[in-house]
Amino acid sequence: MNSIIISAISQGLLWAILAIGIHITYRILNISDLTSESAFALGGALVATCIVNGIPPLLATLIATLGGSLAGFVTGFLHTKLKIPSLLAGILSMTGLYSINLRIMGKANIPLNMDDTLLTNAADLLGFTRDRDATIVLGILVAIIIVLGLIWFFNTEFGFSIIATGSNDQMIRANGVNSNVTIIAGLMLSNGLIALSGALVSQYNGYADVGQGIGAIVVGLASVIIGEVIFKNKNFFITLIGIIIGSIIYRLIVALVINTDFISANDMRLFTAIIVAIAIAMTNLNFRKSKVKRS
Amino acid sequence: MISIHNLYKTFHANTINENKVITDLSLKIEDGDFITVIGGNGAGKSTLLNLIAGSIMMDEGKIFIDDVDVSKMIENKRAKYISRVFQDPNSGTCKDLSIEENMSIAKRRGKIRTLRKGILKSEKSEYQNLLKTLDLGLENRLNAKVGLLSGGQRQALTLLMATLVKPNLLLLDEHTAALDPKTAKTVLELTEKIVAENKLTTLMVTHNMKDAINYGNRLIMMNKGKIVLDIKGEEKKNLTVNDLLIRFEASGDDNIISDRMLLD
């Protein structure tokens, strides 16, 4: 039982970065960006290919992150410059990236269990005998850096512009900001984080798989929504902490559900999709109810 | 000075729905002019404002702002010269940011956004003092999200934001039309005060004849994409609703007086 909790916390921390990326597009930019699915796999593909080719894990992880940003740039370019609706632009990127990921990896799955990863490096550095313990330390460290970085970023002039673009692009253009630039920047930030998450999860799992991003957007949304349910406060810091805790809780639920007799690991995506659908429907229905009462 | 030369705009050109919204429109706006624009539905008032602001690109013509040719400039570049208040109170502000954050965005209109702090301490007291002049109690709610404000409060805030950096031209697109009559009056009076204090060159679209007569130093009337009346100076000062109706009839097309204009 104890080890289930520890593993849920480790995985939750790594997947939380994905959820924070989803939050940036879904909640801040108001775009349902499907690039996320393939950007997560791209992170894994890049990090695994780099590591097996002898590139140091830290550098490999950075390359994976930049790769995700590039994917976000492509989606942003398709959407803003070529005027393709955002949902379709994301689908195009996702579909195209699947082939690119296979090209990068050369096969559908690359094992990493014989190689040094960021996690084994961290374990060596910290003197842990088990990588699992290092994962928690590393996960917390990465989470702190990301939370502080995002709080700083979204309080800059440029950060304000991105937030304003998401809620009212007419207003931000009328104030002299090119909303194409802010949308592209937001997508690059989001997908960079998602690829970073994919890279870390691959190193934790000990392999990269071309299919590892399938359902990632729903998993991320589930974490975002769990976080919002726990912390109703709209303060950005609390929101980010909520997402991280939401991600950990989601992993705990997964661990508990898989251990029951009637749901197997194969059913998890259906289970998650239903949970997210119910959660979003409930917030919408509550909203409608309170509206009726007021009038 | 803003000069507009031979502006043309057609929507859905070469289709069955072709609609020539603006045809051969020219207009010179002198510095300090406060022009009210009136006209029936489909006269092209809003399109004219959108063409000037650059949110719609013109088919033909030229627009100069103080000798700068902005005809090909996209909306966010033109924002350096032009500020706007929209008809929809939700359009001019960002609901997810606080009052002071919204103002800080407007304070940087026309400037490149950097990674410097979005709002400086010194700005806050400036905003507080400016908000006091609105007399809506907003000066104590700098950190409140704008989404919590009423339509009238948001419109007043948008007006203030539009003038934080003095624009070469202020565009008001029926900015009181979505408000209740009492709030509309307050916002209009505020508009007059802010325009006068800052000596702003202003173009205000309205569908209300009385407002068009009571405010500004010049009145233009649009019909079918053209300016059919341009009244200024002494004549504008002494103008009454009756005069205006007679002038409309004399212009040969009495369809231009829509029911909406008369009812108001």
Assess if residue B46 is contained within a domain.
yes
Q: Which of B109, B115, B119 sits opposite A176 (nearest CB)?
A: B109
Assess if residue A253 is contained within a domain.
yes
Sign (positive/negative) of CA torsion A233, A236, A241, A247? positive
How far apart are the CA of B169 and the nearest CA of chain A, in angstroms? 13
Assess if residue B12 is contained within a domain.
yes
Residues of chain A found within 8 Å of residue B81, distances taken between Cβ atoms = none
Beta bridge partners of B35: B203, B218
Q: How far apart are CA B64 and CA B76, in angstroms?
A: 16
Cβ burial, residue A234 (10 Å; 0-12/13-18/19+): exposed
- Residue B24's nearest CA partner among B224, B245, B258 is B224
Q: What is the pTM of this model?
A: 0.91
- Residue A157's nearest CA partner among B103, B100, B116, B127 is B116
| Phi/psi at B232 (5° precision) | -140, 180
Mean pLDDT of A128-143: 88
Q: How far apart are CA B131 and CA A130, in angstroms?
A: 59
Q: Which residue of A has its CA nearest to B108?
A: A175
Write out the residue range of the structural domain in which residue A87 sits: 2-266
Enumerate helices (H) and strands (E) in chain A, giving the number of each: 12, 2
- Residue B200's nearest CA partner among B229, B253, B164 is B164
Ranking A12-21, A98-107, A249-258, B236-245 by mean pLDDT, the lowest is: B236-245
* Range A11-22 burial, b when 16+ CB lie within 10 A, else e: bbbbbbbbbbbb
Q: What is the DSSP letter of A26?
A: I
The CATH number of the domain holding residue B39 is: 3.40.50.300
Assess if residue B122 is contained within a domain.
no
pLDDT at residue B263, rounded to an integer: 53
Rg (chain B; Cα; Å): 19
pLDDT at residue B171, rounded to an integer: 97
Q: Does the distance separating the beta carbons of A178 and B108 come in below 8 Å?
A: no
| Phi/psi at A180 (5° precision) | -60, -40
Cα–Cα distances in angstroms (integers) from residue B60 to residues A119, B138, B182, in the given order? 63, 44, 41
pLDDT at residue B251, rounded to an integer: 65
* CB contact at 8 A, B210 and B264: yes
Assess if residue B123 is contained within a domain.
no
Assess if residue B149 is contained within a domain.
no
Assess if residue B130 is contained within a domain.
no
Assess if residue B209 is contained within a domain.
yes
Is pLDDT above 80 for A17? Answer: yes
Residues of chain B found within 8 Å of residue A157, distances taken between Cβ atoms = 104, 108, 113-118
Domain count, chain B: 1
Mean pLDDT of A23-50: 96
Residues of chain B found within 8 Å of residue A156, distances taken between Cβ atoms = 113-118
Residues of chain A found within 8 Å of residue B77, distances taken between Cβ atoms = 176
| B130: helix, strand or coil | helix
- Averages of pLDDT over runs of 10 residues in chain B (264 residues) are 94 91 94 92 90 94 94 94 94 95 96 94 93 91 94 94 95 93 91 94 92 92 90 86 78 55 55
The mean pLDDT of chain A is 91
Q: Does the distance separating the beta carbons of A160 and B90 come in below 8 Å?
A: no
Q: Does the distance separating the beta carbons of B110 and A174 come in below 8 Å?
A: no
- Residue A11's nearest CA partner among A192, A135, A128 is A135
Which residues of B make CB contacts under 8 Å with A?
53, 55, 74-77, 79-80, 83-84, 86, 90-97, 101, 104-106, 108-111, 113-119, 145
Domain count, chain A: 1
Q: In what order do the strands lie in the sheet with B82-85?
A: B82-85, B169-173, B202-205, B34-39, B218-223, B226-232
**End-to-end CA separation in angstroms for chain B:** 32
- Residue B111's nearest CA partner among A176, A59, A1 is A176
Q: What is the pLDDT of residues A39-64, one digit of tens each?
A: 999 999 999 999 999 999 999 999 99
- Residue A220's nearest CA partner among A10, A17, A50 is A17
The CATH number of the domain holding residue A204 is: 1.10.3470
Is pLDDT above 50 for A97? Answer: yes
pLDDT at residue A204, rounded to an integer: 94
pLDDT at residue B59, rounded to an integer: 95
Confidence bin at A295 (pLDDT 50/70/90): very low
pLDDT at residue A221, rounded to an integer: 93
Q: Is the pLDDT higher at A235 or at A86? A: A86
Q: How far apart are CA A19 and CA A223, in angstroms?
A: 6
Mutate to test the interface with A, among B49, B87, B94 (most CBs of A within 10 A): B94
Is pLDDT above 70 for A1? Answer: no
Mean pLDDT of A167-178: 95
Is pLDDT above 70 for A209? Answer: yes
Write out the residue range of the structural domain in which residue B68 sits: 2-81+167-263
Assess if residue B22 is contained within a domain.
yes
Give me the total of CB pairs closer than 8 Å, taking one residue from chain A and one from chain B: 89
Q: Does the distance separating the beta carbons of B91 and A161 come in below 8 Å?
A: no
pLDDT at residue A294, rounded to an integer: 43
Q: Does the distance separating the beta carbons of A163 and B55 come in below 8 Å?
A: no
Strand ranges for B12-106 from DSSP E: 19-29, 34-39, 60-65, 68-69, 82-85
Parallel, antiparallel, or unpaired: how do β-strands B60-65 and B34-39 relate? unpaired
Assess if residue A286 is contained within a domain.
no
Q: Is A27 on the interface with B (CB under 8 A)?
A: no
Q: Does the distance separating the beta carbons of B108 and A167 come in below 8 Å?
A: no
What percent of chain A is predicted at pLDDT more than 90?
73
Mutate to test the interface with A, among B96, B103, B120, B168 (most CBs of A within 10 A): B96
Assess if residue A165 is contained within a domain.
yes
Q: Does the distance separating the beta carbons of A172 and B75 come in below 8 Å?
A: no
Q: Beta-carbon neighbour count of residue A125 at 10 Å?
A: 11
